[in-house]
Every structure is written in C-alpha cells, then in structure tokens.
Amino acid sequence: MPVDAGNGKASEAQRRLQPGPEPSDVTRLAIIGSCISRDIWRIVGRDASDLLYISRTSLPSLVSARPEGLVLPEVAPEGLRPNPWRALVADLTKQALNALMVHRPDRIIFDFIDERFDLLSIGGTLVTRSWELETSGLDQQAALRGGRTIPRLSMACDVLWQAALNDLAVILSSSPLAGAELILHEAQWAGHYRTSTQEILPLEDGSLSLGGKPASRAAHNQCLIRYQAAFMAQFPKAHRIAAPEALRLADSGHQWGLSPFHYVDDYYYALDDQIQALL
C-alpha cells in the first residue's frame, strides 16, 4: 500500500522543529539541493561560513519521520567521505529541518538535481535511496531491509513529492522561517560537455547512469520541469534563477568528474551574479 506522505507529515515534522536563535544582521543562506548550488561558493570563491547545505535528500524524505529501530555507526563506513556521510545521516535521522530552524536563513535556495534517486518506503516512512545509502550498506539493516522501492520516475513518486511539497509549505509558513525568501535554481541535465581542448561534444544517454543503472536525460529533465513548475505554483513569490542555455555544459575537468550536472565554471559565475542581485 503506498505511503501517504501528505497524511499528517507536516504536523509530525513541525513537532520536531525547534526555533533557533534570533538572526543577526549578516545575510544567512541555506541550500536544500545539490552540489550544483553549493559549488557556486566554491568556484566563485565566496565565504561559505554562513551557508547551510542540505543535500542527498528528497522532499518526501525531508518531511518524513525517522525509521524505527535505526542504528547508525559512529564513523562513516568505508567508501564514504565525511560530507556525503553527514548528508546520509541527516536524511535517515531527519535532522535537516531542525538544522534549518537553528540556522534561521534569510534566503533558502532550492534545486532539485538530487531528486534523481528512488525512494525507499519502510514502516510508514520514506528515505532517499541514494548511492550513499547503498554504499554504506545501511539499507541491509533491519530497520530498512525489506523496504519497497518507489522509482523516481513513477507516478507514485510524483504523488508523494507533491504531497511533501504541500507539507513543506505548511511547515515554512507556520515556523520562524515564514519570512525567508525562497530562490529556485532551475536546472537541467546537460546534453553536451566541454573537453580539456575546448571541444563541445554530445553527452549521449548511453553514457549516463545512476548507481550503475542506465538513466535517461530527457526523462529526468521532464521530471525536473514538473517539480519546478509545482514549486512555483506552491510558492509564486519565489525568485527564479537559471543559467543561460549556452552555459549548460558539462565539464570533463570538473572536480567531481564528468556528469550531466557538473557544469563548466561559467555556469556557476552566471548563477552567482543572479544570487548576488537578490541579496
């Protein structure tokens, strides 16, 4: 039976939220998204000390309850770097919303590139079936083993995502974050990449994979379009930022490797200009 992420999840999440300290005069930002937004600070060279970065999660997981009986190791399993491990722990233990409340950002940037992973339904809650979860082996723990996979590109996932978006709207409007400005980074998977010799070559679908499984750029881009449209319908006052299509190029020399969402540096500079104009 499908999990109804919209049934009581907002109030359940609200009960776990604790107000943070009063905000200072310094502009505080948060990202609920992926490295495509976080890398703006790294590539442009801006100070990220007042930036909260929440990644490797999905809205249905973000507003869900912690799985019962979950036990986490004290150190990251072999194969996981510290930052991805922290993101996985936050997704499983549902710490992200509390961290957001404590941070008290003036502006929250959303991007949905990490909304590419399947969901795992277990015991009336949801977690993100990320590469990190599978690499950690925690999906074989009793608290998660036997969960039902909800494919990202399925209608069931769309329904759960919309319900979670509705819950998020309730949480934001009835919390100390009600005054925060929202920024939507409208992103798409790149169809071409730039080589070290500045050639522009097609990034064929056959070369794309998620966790070793084939992935369709067109299908995931359509999913992103649906999510972005739903977000703007829910939050019509949100600001929209997007890089020019000509800059939506993958970079073969990117620090994190060649991927349809690891872009050339000019992409990040263009986004930085738009963000700074909103501050």
Q: Looking at 13-22, 54-63, 108-117, 224-233, which range is the least confident one? A: 13-22
CA atoms of 35 and 56, how far apart (whole Å): 9
Buried-state track 86-124, b at ≥16 Cβ within 10 A, e below 16 = bbbbbbbebebbbebbebbbbbbbbbbbbbbbbbbbbee
What sign for the dihedral angle of Cα 66, 72, 75, 78?
negative
pLDDT at 44: 97
pLDDT at 26: 59
CA atoms of 270 and 142, how far apart (whole Å): 46
What's the pLDDT tens digit per position in 52-72?
A: 999 999 999 999 999 999 999
What sign for the dihedral angle of Cα 156, 145, 63, 181?
negative
**Per-residue pLDDT band at 207 (split at 50, 70, 90):** low
Q: Is the pLDDT of residue 22 over 50?
A: no
What are the residue ranges spanned by the domains of the chain? 9-16+25-188+216-243
Q: Is the pLDDT of residue 253 over 90?
A: yes
